[in-house]
């Protein structure tokens, strides 16, 4: 009997959720139950931004008896021990004695009772799907593993007593598939105080599943779990990043590996409120089919998005009586001085992969690496004429001995060694792993007592110009927490994750436990001495007490300001952000499964060829006179088709 209730609720919920993603006439929406179309005498309609669907045809499809009380405008649906009571104008409905609060109350339209279904409990005993192309809701009654009372968790206040709600103790299994700041404390043991406090505040028991410490092996671990259908209830991963999930999230949903969170937004009012207030971010978090597939990791503040750029030995500039470089020509004068006058063997150190991500130096030429956008047109930088000019410059720097001989495979430990031994005077690095790490390493160093790393502007070609890029990252990169497709408790998992989108949960994620790791001063969370002067380091303390560096929440700028609080770090963020623009960054785009398959095949060939040949041009192993041949090969490999696919995805994003 509970299955009937679940199926009915599934239909109304699915219809409600999917309407938000379209603007077409609601009459186009079809509802299929086990492949059969449910006919409505009054079509679904959009009222107050919610889809209203007639309840009678759905209930009758499952043999439920419907009673209408015209005096009180109350509808009652009954079958055996299932009783659903709804009253027009009342946001609270009764489901077998349990109250469920709706976003919008039931309403009368053309003498039919329609209900807003976003907040009605999900089809707890059925799988619900959505096809955006045909605007079809599909209900399957045969495959669900959902607990029939899971929907009751939607409106239970924290902390939740699962024994009281569903009659059993529930433990959710959580796989942290992305490395955290303190992996041994949280990722593998689950004993960090963050986890303890999260359990305490929500009342939800969580078991941490060991994640492999190697990123590549984590992907294999995930594939093994999915193939064996031993799927955790919650999984942190780069679900929207084709480098990690080549198919994209929609096939993962269709395969039952993860769930479309749309179906459970009734239990996530805090995330929903955030997405409603930030529609441009909401569009990035959706899949091509219009599914929310993760509780996302968001950087929505310029300070949280600005953390990487050009770095220079400030003490060396002072020793040489040189100004901070502003242009590429200034950099050449500085690098030559570092080499000739200070004996730097590798004046400039950087990893080529980092420069491709953050567009350092190349932005001076009005071009970027890979995809970027200009006046609504998607472009690929390595086939642009300006890329040739950039290669000419980098080749000259290499020939002058200002770059490492192996820039393509240059690693972090080598860069740190070069910086701290005086072999390098400039680098591309982060505010934490660069400025903070190197200055802490060199504190009290007798050889370089005045050692200082400063952030300098992204250089322009000529003074007064603004580079095309300032090195900041996007708001959303496809990472977050997905709900496992076989979980018995999707509503409970949703409530657990939604807690991190409350003010209390956000503080827990970024700052830990009030009174121990932070205090509130003038309405802002401030780390205590326990964190700032922790004998194991601030990073270790935050790793145990918080999830500040990554998690299914919006990262706090207050965290960045305190974690990277050295004057040099604060100045670096300001200098980097103000020396360029973010106007040409593409948002996080989702391609259709068919596009994704074609795109990945082409991208792998194009990127590999572009990276190898770029390194050969710079090192002089291939003459720059062959640049046109290089571009022709990229076109033969399909770069133009790849741009077409990105353009189509960008155009869809803009009209959502």
Name the band, by pLDDT with cuts 50, 70 and 90, for residue 311: very high
Q: Identify the pLDDT of residue 122.
A: 38
Name the band, by pLDDT with cuts 50, 70 and 90, for residue 123: very low
pLDDT for residue 377 is more than 90: yes
Q: Please, what is the average pLDDT of the chain?
A: 84
Q: Identify the pLDDT of residue 184.
A: 40
Q: Average pLDDT of 484-508? A: 95
Angle at 284 between CA 282 and CA 289, to 5 degrees: 90
Per domain, the residue ranges of the chain are 2-144, 151-302+476-510, 307-471+581-655
Q: Identify the pLDDT of residue 526.
A: 96
Unique residue bearing structure tokens 């020793």: 319
Question: By percentage, how much of the chain surpasses pLDDT 70?
Answer: 85
pLDDT for residue 272 is more than 90: yes
* Residues facing residue 37 across a β-bridge: 32
CATH of 307-471+581-655, one of 3.40.50.300, 3.40.190.10, 1.10.1060.10, 3.90.1170.50: 3.40.190.10
Q: Average pLDDT of 167-187? A: 70
Contacts of 340 (CB under 8 A, 6+ apart): none
Contacts of 515 (CB under 8 A, 6+ apart): none
Q: Average pLDDT of 162-174? A: 92
Q: Identify the pLDDT of residue 401.
A: 94
DSSP 458-511: PPBSSTT---S---PPPS--S-EEEEBTT-S-HHHHHHHHHGGGSHHHHHHHHH
Q: Identify the pLDDT of residue 134.
A: 65
CATH numeric code, 151-302+476-510: 3.40.190.10
At 424, phi and psi to the nearest 5? Answer: -130, 140
Residue 124 tokens, joined? 């707890």
Domains 2-144 and 307-471+581-655 share a fold: no
Between 547 and 132, name the one with better pLDDT: 547
Residue 491 tokens, joined? 């509503």
Residue 275 tokens, joined? 């997405």
Between 85 and 14, name the one with better pLDDT: 85
3-state class (DSSP) for residue 114: strand
- H or E element that contains 581: none
Decide if 39 contacts 56 (C-beta within 8 A): no
Question: By percentage, how much of the chain surpasses pLDDT 90?
Answer: 48
Decide if 111 contacts 243 (C-beta within 8 A): no
3-state class (DSSP) for residue 266: helix
Contacts of 604 (CB under 8 A, 6+ apart): none
CATH topology for 2-144 is Copper Amine Oxidase; Chain A, domain 1 (3.30.457)
Between 542 and 625, name the one with better pLDDT: 625
Q: Identify the pLDDT of residue 128.
A: 53
pLDDT for residue 407 is more than 50: yes
Q: Identify the pLDDT of residue 116.
A: 59
Per-residue three-class SS string for 159-181: CCCHHHHHCCCCEEEEEECCCCC
pLDDT in tens, 577-594: 888 777 899 999 988 888
Residue 141 tokens, joined? 């009654």
pLDDT in tens, 237-255: 999 888 788 888 988 998 8
* Residues facing residue 378 across a β-bridge: 373
Q: Identify the pLDDT of residue 45.
A: 73
């Amino acid at each position: 009997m509970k299955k009937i209730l679940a199926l009915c609720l599934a239909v109304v919920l699915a219809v409600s959720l999917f309407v938000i993603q379209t603007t077409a006439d609601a009459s186009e929406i079809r509802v299929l139950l086990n492949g059969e179309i449910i006919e409505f005498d009054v079509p679904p309609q959009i009222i107050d931004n919610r889809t209203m669907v007639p309840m009678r045809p759905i209930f009758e499809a499952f043999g439920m008896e419907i009673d209408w009380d015209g005096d009180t405008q109350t509808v009652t649906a009954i079958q055996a021990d299932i009783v659903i009571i709804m009253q027009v104008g009342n946001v609270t409905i009764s489901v077998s004695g349990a109250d469920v609060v709706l976003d919008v109350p039931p309403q009368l339209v053309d003498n039919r009772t329609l209900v807003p279904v976003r907040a009605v409990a999900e089809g707890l005993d059925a799988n619900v799907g959505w096809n955006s192309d045909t605007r079809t809701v599909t209900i399957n009654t045969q495959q669900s593993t959902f607990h029939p009372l899971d929907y009751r968790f939607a409106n239970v206040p924290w902390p939740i007593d699962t024994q009281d709600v569903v009659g059993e103790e529930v433990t959710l299994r959580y796989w942290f598939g992305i490395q955290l700041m303190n992996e041994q404390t949280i990722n593998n043991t689950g004993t960090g105080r963050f986890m303890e406090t999260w359990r305490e505040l929500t009342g939800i028991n969580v078991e941490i599943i060991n994640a492999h410490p190697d990123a590549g092996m984590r992907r294999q671990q995930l594939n093994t779990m999915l193939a064996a259908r031993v799927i955790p209830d919650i999984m942190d991963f780069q679900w929207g990043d084709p480098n990690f999930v080549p198919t994209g999230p929609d096939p993962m949903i269709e395969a039952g590996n993860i769930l479309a969170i749309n179906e459970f937004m009734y239990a996530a009012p805090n995330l929903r409120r955030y997405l409603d207030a930030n529609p441009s971010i909401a569009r990035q978090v959706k899949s091509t089919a219009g599914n929310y597939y993760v509780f996302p990791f968001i950087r929505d503040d310029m300070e949280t998005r600005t953390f990487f750029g050009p770095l220079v030995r400030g003490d060396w500039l002072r020793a040489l009586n040189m100004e901070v470089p502003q242009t590429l020509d200034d950099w050449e004068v500085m690098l030559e001085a570092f080499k000739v006058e200070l004996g730097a063997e590798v004046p400039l150190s950087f990893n080529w992969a980092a420069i491709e991500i953050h567009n350092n130096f190349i932005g001076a030429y009005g071009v970027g690496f890979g995809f970027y956008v200009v006046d609504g047109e998607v472009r690929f930088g390595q086939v642009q004429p300006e890329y040739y000019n950039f290669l000419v410059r980098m080749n000259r720097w290499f020939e002058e001995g200002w770059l490492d001989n192996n820039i393509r495979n240059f690693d972090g430990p080598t860069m740190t060694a070069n910086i701290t031994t005086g072999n390098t005077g400039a680098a591309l690095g982060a505010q934490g792993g660069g400025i903070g790490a190197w200055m802490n390493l060199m504190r009290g160093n007798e050889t370089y007592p005045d050692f200082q790393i400063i952030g300098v502007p992204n250089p322009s070609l000529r003074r007064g110009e603004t580079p095309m890029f300032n090195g900041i990252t996007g708001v959303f990169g496809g990472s977050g927490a997905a709900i496992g497709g076989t979980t018995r408790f999707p509503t409970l998992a949703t409530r657990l994750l939604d807690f991190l989108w409350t003010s209390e949960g956000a503080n827990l994620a970024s700052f830990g436990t009030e009174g121990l790791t932070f205090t509130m001063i003038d309405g802002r969370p401030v780390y205590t001495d326990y964190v700032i002067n922790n004998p194991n380091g601030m990073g270790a303390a935050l790793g145990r007490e918080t999830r500040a560096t990554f998690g299914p929440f919006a990262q706090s700028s207050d965290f960045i300001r305190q974690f990277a609080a050295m004057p040099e770090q604060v100045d670096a963020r300001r200098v980097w952000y103000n020396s360029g623009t973010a106007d040409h960054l593409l948002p996080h785009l989702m391609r259709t499964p068919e596009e994704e398959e074609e795109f990945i095949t082409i991208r792998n060939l194009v990127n590999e060829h572009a990276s190898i040949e770029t390194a050969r041009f710079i090192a002089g192993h291939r003459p720059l006179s062959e640049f046109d041949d290089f571009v022709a090969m990229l076109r033969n490999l399909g770069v133009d088709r790849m741009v077409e696919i990105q353009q189509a995805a960008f155009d869809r994003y803009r009209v959502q």
